[in-house]
Chain A
Amino acid sequence: MGGYSLSDLGNIFVMQGFSGLSLFSVLLLMAIGLAIIFGQMGVINMAHGEFMTIGAYTTVMFSQFADKHGFVAYYFVFAIILSFIIAFAAGYLIEFIMIRHLYKRPLDTLLATWGLSLIMQQLFRSAFGAKEVSVTLPDWLMGSFKPTPDIDIPINGVFVMGLTLLVTLGVYLFMFRSRWGLRMRATTQNSVMAGSVGINTHKVDRVSFALGCGIAGVAGAAFTTIASTGPTSGSLYIVDSFMVVVFGGAASLIGTIASAFTIAQAQSVLQFFMTSALGKVTTLLAIVTILMLRPEGLFSVKVRK
């Protein structure tokens, strides 16, 4: 790291750290959804990235609508809610049509949902065109704020992070402080037993899957603030998000947060010192190596077998 003075290095770390936070936010939102679906239900949802894209396109559409009717300043809050609802509904439907027939064959869910992701990508391409589209950001989301002259922190990054923390908190409350969460955890630990004490496990499964997809939709809304949306946007994040979930230890919320943070920050800081490709390779290699040494991930919880 020759050529950089100590204060330069400090500034680089702060700025790359904050740009890593945007990546962290999207990864974490994606991974929380996946952690619910994979960790709680053992379903590998390869179409998860496409549910994120649903959220992103919803936000883009809604922003155009807001542009026309002149409420750009505060549309974003509604867009997030709408993204969640639409992705949730799509997930609910997909679970009903497809996933529920495959619970006993986890490897096959992976293959079937990959087929689903192909179909969804093609549908996006037919409906919205192959060109990438982006949202009109309200003024208060643009620009950056400078605590010192050398440090630039983009406001949209901070906003996305705030949103992520809020969603994470919401998921925590839902999973560990609500009746529904209790049912979900019971179903995870022992589905048959949960059924015999009167929990409708099919319904719990359906809502869990839909919830995971809904959170992916929110990730999509967050994604629009940092990049433009195309039909294949979601598939770029799918491997990374899976690595986050596996690395963190499936079904562990804290593990997911910790590993999303580690992976995003490592990528972001390494990308500054190496090329962007090498930074990513190094991070992924490190994760794969760690996973080989510790297959159960950072924080492991007992998962439904």
Chain B
Amino acid sequence: MKAIYSNLLGGKSGAVGLALLAVLILVILPLSLDIFRLNLVGKYLSYAFVAVGLVLLWGYGGILSLGQGIFFGLGGYCMAMFLKLEASDPVSTKIQTTPGIPDFMDWNQITALPAFWEPFKSLPFTMVAIIVVPVLFAFIIGAAMFKRRVGGVYFAIITQAIALILTILIIGQQGYTGGVNGITDLRTLDGWDIRTDSAKYILYYFSAFLLFGCILLGRFILSGKLGMLLLAMRDKEERVRFSGYDVSSFKIFVFCVAAAISALGGAMFTLQVGFMSPSFVGIVPSIEMVIFTAVGGRMSLLGAVYGALLVNFGKSMFSETFPQLWLLLMGGMFIAVVMYFPNGLAGLYQQYGARLDKLWQPLARRLAKRNKVVAPSQADGSPQLVATPVIRKLAEKAVVTDEPVHEAIRTRRPA
């Protein structure tokens, strides 16, 4: 019980943070927004999945992927294919030349359902595919790259190229994928109309709970030995390798986990927004997802969710009123975050939150003192670690004592 409390919920501060976010998403937002706006928030939450995955992959693993849109898109497209097949039953598509196939196929003179669409008639298969297809894809990319020790910048550029390839393919193969418009006009999920208000509420809550599940999964991964290894790999990859760990397997694993989480986000996106198109797959959305993570804080699972919500709120607010200003603002904000606040909002909170507490209540002072940031020395100029419980533990155990990382890990290794 105690282990669950300290690892999964992250002790007192972690549990409080999680509870605050839960109150915001589950109570405050649904009560204060109408269903149209809430649906938008639901859309932002589906981006937050990707951001959570990126915290694991980029913040802790140090692997920058500029192709998370690939997995978001694959998950979303799997979902959309099922919904589209359900929406194009022979009765409602009887005006087509070939009834019973999706409308865009009919427009592109395709007369039979392509073989790879067939299995998506089944809901169980689709639900498995939403996770398995992106993970398999991530595994292939990851295995090919990490086994050959391709990393850093090269990995970023290659994932970007793959995102571009996938976008061009989807747009080019209009008959099979719906082209640039994507798969639109989705109606029911196994007979349940997803366009009604009540369905939107249910889907919103469902994706919120799923998101919390992913955050807890992320905490579980990070609080264990694997989390420590990820950090150690990010900071001194060679040392971890020399102490006998298969670095590439860990990288592949975390890449696959991030892909799975992103894919869930994609599927929830399709359900809530009602369509899926290549404009959520390519380079620009993929980089935007990195922005959410950077703004929220690349080292904080909760921060990433706030980042996704805030940036998207800003985007829809500004692009409604000053569309021209928005790009300037977003670019400027991004430069500022990268240059001056590498740990994003969560980092700012860690830095100044304690001071705010001091102003508010003297009681919080003692707490803040106890939770004081323990920042290990950073020789390579990468962003300073913030004191989440996990890192604090790691810092106490390994880096601050300047004991070599592998020593610390080896002592924890089962015989």
Residues of A within 8 A of B (CB): 38, 42, 44, 98, 101-102, 104-108, 110-112, 114-119, 121-123, 125-126, 239, 242-243, 246, 275, 277-278, 280-281, 284-285, 287-288, 291-293, 295
Instruction: Mark each residue of chain B from 290 to 320: 1 if its CB lies under 8 Å from any CB of chain A, else 0.
Output: 1100100000000000000000000000000
Contact of A108 among B154, B332, B338 (CB under 8 A): B338
Q: Quick check: B327 and A122 within 8 Å, CB to CB?
A: yes
Q: Is B156 an interface residue (CB 8 A)?
A: yes
The residue on B at minimum CB distance from A275 is B172
Contact of A111 among B145, B165, B294, B381 (CB under 8 A): B294
Q: Quick check: A284 and B152 within 8 Å, CB to CB?
A: no
- Rounded to whole angstroms, the CA-CA distance of A108 and B291 in the bound complex is 11
Q: State how many angstroms separate the Cβ of B71 from the closest Cβ of chain A.
A: 17
- Rounded to whole angstroms, the CA-CA distance of A5 and B172 in the bound complex is 29
- Rounded to whole angstroms, the CA-CA distance of A104 and B162 in the bound complex is 27
Residues of B within 8 A of A (CB): 64, 66, 144-145, 148-150, 152-154, 156-158, 160-162, 164-165, 168-169, 171-172, 283, 287, 290-291, 294, 324, 327-328, 330-335, 338-339, 342, 380-382
Chain A neighbourhood of B381, CB < 8 A = 104-105
Chain B neighbourhood of A44, CB < 8 A = 153, 156-157
Q: With contacts A111-B334, A284-B165, A295-B149 known, is A239 near B160, CB below 8 A?
A: yes
- Rounded to whole angstroms, the CA-CA distance of A94 and B379 in the bound complex is 26
Q: Quick check: A277 and B168 within 8 Å, CB to CB?
A: yes
- Rounded to whole angstroms, the CA-CA distance of A301 and B244 in the bound complex is 29
Q: Quick check: B330 and A115 within 8 Å, CB to CB?
A: yes
Q: With contacts A112-B338, A118-B331, A122-B328 known, is A288 near B152, CB below 8 A?
A: no
- Rounded to whole angstroms, the CA-CA distance of A107 and B59 in the bound complex is 12
- Rounded to whole angstroms, the CA-CA distance of A42 and B153 in the bound complex is 9
Q: Quick check: A122 and B150 within 8 Å, CB to CB?
A: no
The residue on A at minimum CB distance from B151 is A295
- Rounded to whole angstroms, the CA-CA distance of A52 and B260 in the bound complex is 38
Q: State how many angstroms separate the Cβ of B383 from the closest Cβ of chain A.
A: 8
Contact of B161 among A98, A112, A116, A243 (CB under 8 A): A243
Q: Quick check: A242 and B330 within 8 Å, CB to CB?
A: no
A-B contact list, 27 entries, CB within 8 Å: A44-B153, A102-B339, A106-B152, A108-B342, A110-B153, A111-B294, A111-B334, A117-B331, A118-B328, A118-B330, A119-B327, A119-B332, A122-B324, A122-B327, A122-B328, A243-B157, A280-B168, A281-B168, A284-B165, A285-B165, A288-B161, A288-B162, A291-B150, A291-B158, A292-B145, A293-B148, A295-B145
- Rounded to whole angstroms, the CA-CA distance of A112 and B157 in the bound complex is 15
Q: Which 3 A-B pairs have the closest CB atoms?
A: A277-B172, A115-B334, A118-B331
**12 further A-B pairs in the complex, CB-CB below 8 A; given A118-B327, A295-B148:** A38-B153, A44-B156, A102-B338, A107-B64, A107-B153, A110-B153, A111-B287, A111-B338, A114-B287, A116-B335, A122-B327, A292-B144
Q: Quick check: A295 and B165 within 8 Å, CB to CB?
A: no
Q: Quick check: A112 and B172 within 8 Å, CB to CB?
A: no
The residue on B at minimum CB distance from A125 is B324
Chain A neighbourhood of B145, CB < 8 A = 292, 295
Q: State how many angstroms separate the Cβ of A87 from the closest Cβ of chain B.
A: 19
Q: Quick check: B150 and A292 within 8 Å, CB to CB?
A: yes
Q: With contacts A104-B380, A105-B382 known, is A246 near B157, CB below 8 A?
A: yes
- Rounded to whole angstroms, the CA-CA distance of A249 and B241 in the bound complex is 26
The residue on B at minimum CB distance from A294 is B148
Q: State how many angstroms separate the Cβ of A182 from the closest Cβ of chain B.
A: 26
Q: Quick check: B339 and A121 within 8 Å, CB to CB?
A: no
Q: Quick check: A112 and B339 within 8 Å, CB to CB?
A: yes
Chain B neighbourhood of A105, CB < 8 A = 342, 381-382
Q: With contacts A239-B164, A277-B169 known, is A121 near B327, CB below 8 A?
A: yes
Q: Quick check: B150 and A295 within 8 Å, CB to CB?
A: yes
Q: State how many angstroms separate the Cβ of B325 from the closest Cβ of chain A.
A: 8
Which of A104, A114, A278 neighbours the largest number of chain B CB atoms within 10 Å of its CB? A114
Q: Quick check: B290 and A111 within 8 Å, CB to CB?
A: yes
Chain B neighbourhood of A291, CB < 8 A = 150, 154, 158
Q: Quick check: B172 and A281 within 8 Å, CB to CB?
A: yes
Chain B neighbourhood of A126, CB < 8 A = 324
The residue on B at minimum CB distance from A112 is B338
Contact of B152 among A104, A107, A114, A278 (CB under 8 A): A107
Q: Quick check: A281 and B330 within 8 Å, CB to CB?
A: no
